[in-house]
Structure 1
Amino acid sequence: MPGRRFRLLAWLAVGGLLQGCGGGSNPAPLPPPATDTRTYELGFTPWPYAASPDAVNFVYSEIAARGDFIAHHLDAGIPWQEALDGIPYPAAVEDEIRTRLDRTPAGMRTYLALSPLNGARDGLASYWGDATNQPLPPPWDTRSLDDPAVITAYTNFAADLVRRFTPEYFNLGIEVSELALNDIAAFDSLVAFTAAVAGALRAEFPDVQLMASVALKSPDSPETAILRAALPDLLTHVDAVGISVYPFVFFDHENRGDPASLPPDWLSQVTALAGGKPVAIAETGWPAERLTIPAFGVDIASDAARQDAYLGRLFAAAASLDAQFIVWFFLADYDSLWNDLLQQDPIARIWRDTGLYDENLNPRPALDTWTTELDRPLE
């Protein structure tokens, strides 16, 4: 869920480049599942750790070497009017798309994700024009998600991206669950939107697995109760369900920095939402350093051993769910980017130290665990 205001800041940074708490013992990683194969593919997003060509080159190189697929996560707005009219996108949009396509390793499978929602997940996605996350111009600033113009524009843009990226999986609604928590009335319009968009895309791309993703909360929380009531109407229109899960900060159990304290159903709770559909971990991560954000009163104890332990638990839980894939969102810590372009934004601090490499590109133990899992053949 690198989301909300952080996503606004983050896309400004990357777009420019590419043109709880407490102690307890450090748990050992769980052993890998007792099979010689794995069901899930492994991949990363191309998020750079610094505002430099070297950082961009490094992450794309590592993605090719350490993953089965690449995750292109486009969450910075939609070129609404251009997509509606079928005219060329603004240069910044086209440059971003072309650069991602050019840098994607040849022959590598792709997971593509797009959002109809804004960074706050409480309304229509912002405008992607000369820059990302620009204010919606009239009349888009008054249109609802089920407006025919919104559905047509989004479908046109999504279809163009699917043609160009040729993904195996296309997430047409990143973290749609958040709208149910923020504006349940607007969520009804999102259900109609999803039905229309999914129907149009399925007709043109019958072999692409269509998804929507859910940001998991604590299994017994009031938020999860709302999601269990609201989501089935939307998820019936997609082929698979994505999971966005960062329990070290968005769950409410004790000792959140220690993966040994995770609720038993921390990941399997998705089965109550997915309605028997295949699931995938669309984004996740865990800090390898203590997470302190004074502005939010956050102080969560973690370290490299606990990050490694989380990865072991993640693999075991994903295997039990027969998950389709796992996206570890940040390959390397982005201290440099956080201090520079992100201006030490407190929300961006949540994910800063979740890399499998630290800020100096020293590998962490979790990287060995990831590589060992990658070496197991896919079923």
Structure 2
Amino acid sequence: MNHHILTNAHIITSSDDFTGSVVIENGLITDIVRGKTYAEGDNLQGMWLAPGCIDIHSDYLEREIHPRPGADFPIPMAFHFMDQRAAACGLTTVLSAVSFSDNDGLNRSFSQAIGQSREIDELRKGALVRHFVHARLNPNTDTVLDYLDQMKSIESLKLVVYNDAIPGQRQFTFEDLVVKRMKVWNTNDAETRQRLHQQIDELSRINHRDAIQAAFEGVCPLGSHDDTTVAHVEEARHFGATLSEMPTTLIAARKAKELGMLVCMGAPNYVRGGSHCGNLSCVSAMQEDLVDMICSDYHFPTMLTAVLMMMHDGMSPSQAINLVSLNPAKAIGLDKIVGSIDVGKEADLIAFYSKGTYADVKKVWVRGVAKFQVAAQEVTNSMGVNVALS
């Protein structure tokens, strides 16, 4: 029997925080003891002990594959270093966003996306943390109909999100796209506008959300990306979406909550105090209690940094950590297994100190097995006391 105890930790459960110990047997949490330390346990010296972060939308793998335009690296190499970085940042579950689209060559093609997902299926078996595929699926192309069955056979598929391809309707305005496309297409202003209007007209006639819903309902949750208008949210909900991912406006976020959908915002948005694209601020959405969870989007370290910033601003540790653990676990149907420190759940846990405004992760366990550990050194714990880690 694999039995060990994590002791003298500041434990964060889904509803409370306290000093105590967690007992783990064969990868499962079997006891949570308030106020007691054990001589034979792994002494965490007052570190925060929390459930590992569950990141339902990460673009980080793509950044490892394509760190610069025209500079590509093999997926196994990219996945390896992404996996290590995830663990070091306190993430124990990562959903890598893979774009399934044939939108003018600007995104990964359907066949390439299938291939990348198949590689993730295999690579995740030897990874430090849990990995799944988050499919950003273009409903505005007939090509999608040819790949739905193949997508359903991706064993790591955990979330499918409608990723609308009609130009100028969501994250980037029409005027934003005119500037961007002029550079990409090497066309003048008039030619660019004409071409964009033609795309809008053609793509608006194609909408396969009904087929996507029929394919994936009961297989994995459905969501919608970059909802901007009330109509966007209503359409997404009509076609089975239960998640509004990174809504770009308050009216869209409000409508999503009104319709009973979950809302996910980006942790970098919260940490930076606003969207880098000038869209809805996560802080503003949270002020209206519109946010159910946050994801790393494009920057792993911001998940725990956001948690610490929220705690500093008066949010309880439980409420803050739930935004990166229990709530996203519920969104993708993993909450019976992971997402909180509860008896009977698998021990996906992280131990960390606050180091100024960010988290200093020292140890990570997945299914009760240590996957990341900083070598013994002198550190300053949350009470300002120097301690030695082993």
> Shorter chain as normaliser: what TM range?
0.3 to 0.5
Q: What's the TM-score, normalizing by structure 2? A: 0.43
Query: Taking CA–CA contacts closer than 8 Å with sequence separation of 6 or more, which of the two structures ends up with the larger relative contact order?
Result: 1
> Which structure has the larger Rg over C-alpha atoms?
2
Higher strand share: 2
Q: What's the TM-score, normalizing by structure 1? A: 0.44
